[in-house]
Amino acid sequence: MNGNWVRHETIFVGRVQGVGFRATAQNIARRYPVVGFVQNLADGSVQLVIEGDPETCRQVVYHIADQMEDFIAERKMLSSDATGEFVSFDIRD
């Protein structure tokens, strides 16, 4: 983990489950030097947690939001210090 890494947690709300959202997010995230996960939440939203350089994290979230814009009604985002707990980017069940 790089010393200037951050953690971005984004909740995507809308018709985001059952539309390939997690697979799309993983495909996009794996193109960037970030780690973390994407998972469906019980309330029908999708949670994205990524760690990486601040600008890279913003680019990943923007790219996912742009690609899946037809399904997203709202986005909630929190930033904090990276934890270093991830080694790759994965889909969680």
Domains and CATH numbers, the chain: 6-81 (3.30.70.100)
Pairing outcome for strands 6-14 and 89-92: unpaired
Query: Token pair for residue 17?
Result: 């489950």
pLDDT, one tens digit per residue, over 27-72 is: 999 999 999 999 999 999 999 999 999 999 999 999 999 999 999 9
| Single-letter amino acid, residue 35 | V
Dist CA 17 CA 15 (whole Å): 6
* DSSP H or E stretch at residue 54: helix 54-67
Active site residues: 22, 40
Band (25; pLDDT cuts 50, 70, 90): very high
